[in-house]
Amino acid sequence: MTTASARELLELLDIEQLEVDLFRGIGGGGETTTRIFGGHVIAQALMAAYRTVEDRLCHSLHAYFMRPGDPSIPVIYQVDQSRDGGSFTTRSVVAIQHGKQILNLSASFHVKEDGWDYQHEMPAVDGPEEWPERHELRKAVADRLPEKYRPDFLRERPIDIREIEPRDFFDPKPASDRNQLWFRMEAAKGQGAQMQHCLLAYASDMNLLGSSLRPHGLTWFQGKVMTASLDHAMWFHAPIEFADWHLYDLDAPWTGGARGFNRGLIYTQDGRLVASVAQEGLMRPLKPKV
């Protein structure tokens, strides 16, 4: 089933070429209306890089978030074709709004080669059908939010997420940093390999920073912490079919200095490791209002 929000996301990632190495992506949409979702900018930047690469797929990307994105205007993506080698291609992408950089991304692309195979096993967890849908969890607690925030909280989103053992939004208990969720986007069915990478890059920013909040009994809804993604790294290991369920196995081995370090491994439902993710995020204590 292709929802309106899923169609919108596919359209957002079909960026417009303005000139050689210059592209324009539409803001808005995604996970929030107050600023551009970080995964949105990463995915569009990766697509801009892909528009300058032939016959090889991304194996890694590294990005820094520099300023919040403004959802009311487009984002300009300027690609630097850094290197075209025999086996590897490198691209650098700068995302610009209001004349200033909001994200820098470097990505590397690799020809297909054979090698030795090894991976960590997927954790044993109940399947996605055992857990409630994200919109069901939000609908059940929407009346605990001020009325002006409810439409954004409840609106349709493109990625289907099923958290394993979801926590209370407003009064969570301290918990292990280790956590998992299932996610997919049914509308990804039939999309090409490049779009599959961009969709997974978009989704990889979901719930990742939240891992570092868990040991402290924090969520975004309490008004106790200011959060923002500072950087994002991702490695693609195997072909992606994001229409199918994937398990996101998350942890946060360290927090301190108003920052938290978060990691994620992404598996297919049959246990194949297809991607790894790392991100450091801001988690600055907020002073209580008096």
Write out the catalytic residue numbers: 205, 229, 279
Token couple for 222: 């309490």
Q: Please give the Cα distance from 157 to 165 (Å, whole number).
A: 21
Q: 224: which residues sit within 8 A by CB, 6+ positions away?
A: 218, 285, 286, 288
Q: What's the angle, vertex CA 17, arms to CA 9 and CA 109, rounded to 5?
A: 75
DSSP string computed for 112-130: --------PPPP----GGG
Nearest to 247 by CA among 277, 227, 220: 277
Q: Please give the Cα distance from 38 to 75 (Å, whole number).
A: 13
Q: Please give the Cα distance from 122 to 245 (Å, whole number).
A: 13
Nearest to 230 by CA among 249, 258, 250: 258
Q: Please give the Cα distance from 134 to 131 (Å, whole number).
A: 9
- Would strands 225-229 and 88-97 be described as parallel, antiparallel, or unpaired? unpaired
What is the four-CA torsion angle of 59, 211, 102, 44, rounded to 10 degrees?
A: 40
